[in-house]
A = this chain, B = another copy of it.
Amino acid sequence: MPELRKDPIIGRWVIIATERGKRPHDFAVPKEETKNEDCPFCEGHERQTPPEIFAVRKSHSGSNSPGWKVRVTPNMPPLLQIEGDLDRRGKGLYDIMNGIGAHELIIETPEHIANIPDLDVEQLSQVFYTYSRRIQDLEGDKRIKYVLLCKNYGQSAGGTRIRHSVTQLIALPVNPKRVKEELIGARRYYEYRERCIFCDMIRQEIQTGSRIIERGDGFIAFAPYASRFPFEVWVLPEEHSCDFYTIKNTRGLAAIMKSVMRKLSVTLQDPPYNYIVHTAPFRRMASQGFWKTIDYDYHWHIEIMPRLTKVAGFELGSGFYINPTPPEDAAKYLNEGIV
């Protein structure tokens, strides 16, 4: 019999279609066209992008020239612009503000490498270090409330045809809806239990065991109990931490991410995917009620969503998800390398 499972954080019910029980090879992963032109993100092509905002560089190399390991430039064209006032105002019933914010591209490697499993751990560690530095820097801009880091790999996941590994950074003057929902859900749980819901999930996942994809060096990866998507994976630090940018052990995160992404890539044959870093919003107004407990009740994590099914429109509209692969099965396929 199919099951209805509830996400304990935001309270969403998901149908887990146990009887359909799709296996990895049941998903048709599209073969995608690639662009063979000169890649603007490769080392030596620095002139093809806008001037860099930040880079991890070898000691004697100069800005916008070779010698970098990770490089951050404005995204072109930007979704939001950095100059101007928010000018929040009403239009009758409606609310509007100017599209102020930042839109940056984090180029994850000077080499023409497409995907995370092919980066070495040291390189990937520098990528996560760059994430943390960019968030820290943007905290200085009082107009920004939230920094969204997301990766779109493959065209059906919103990626480009240029197969060079990048992350998008969008700095927003508002909190995304999903972040608000998580904060509210986590706070509610904390008020009742006086424990972090994510920490409790980690404990239960370790005890259950059947949904764990990977553990090591302070991090855990599991297929969440109420997965919305087949082969959805969450990666969390085992020790409580609400802000991504306070991360010290970027190497540990790199190791687990590389390992998880390799498993997904092998089992699902190089699937398109998105991942999103879920971190707490900036808390400059820490004295105000809402933000008081957030250090204790929110827990940063990365949500990885392979893009295997096409039904998102209905699901977008209703908020109701149908997942044809139970997360326990997904964990088994990934861990046993079953294709």
Contact = CB atoms under 8 A, between A and B. Distances in A.
Q: Which of A4, A99, A305, A307 has the most CB of B within 10 A?
A: A4
Nearest to A95: B6
A324 to B, nearest CB: 10
B5 A314 contact: no
Interface stretch (A34-42, A104-112, A120-128, A174-182): A174-182
Given A93-B8, A179-B318, A313 B152 contact: yes
A141 interface: no
Contacts of A97: 3-4
Given A93-B8, A94-B6, A95-B8, A305 B310 contact: no
A190 interface: no
A17 B79 contact: yes
Given A79-B322, A179-B318, A99 B15 contact: yes
A273 B313 CA distance: 8
Contact of A158 (B81, B156, B311): B311
Given A93-B201, A94-B8, A20 B318 contact: no
Copies per assembly: 2
Interface in A264-293: 273-274, 276
B319 A176 contact: yes
Interface string A305-325: 101011111111111101000
Given A15-B79, A77-B19, A98-B4, A316 B318 contact: no
A181 B319 contact: yes
A24 interface: no
Contact of A99 (B4, B80, B92, B303): B4
A228 interface: yes
Contact of A317 (B99, B174, B208, B305): B305
Contacts of A115: none
Given A1-B84, A13-B174, A200 B99 contact: no
Contacts of A322: 79
A155 B156 CA distance: 14
Interface string A177-205: 11101000000000000000100110010
Contacts of A228: 316
Contact of A311 (B12, B152, B320): B152
9 contacts: A2-B79, A2-B98, A3-B99, A4-B96, A8-B95, A170-B320, A177-B320, A228-B316, A305-B317
Given A8-B95, A16-B99, A276-B318, 16 more contacts: A2-B98, A3-B96, A6-B95, A12-B177, A13-B176, A15-B80, A18-B99, A92-B208, A93-B204, A148-B318, A150-B318, A177-B319, A181-B319, A228-B316, A276-B314, A315-B316
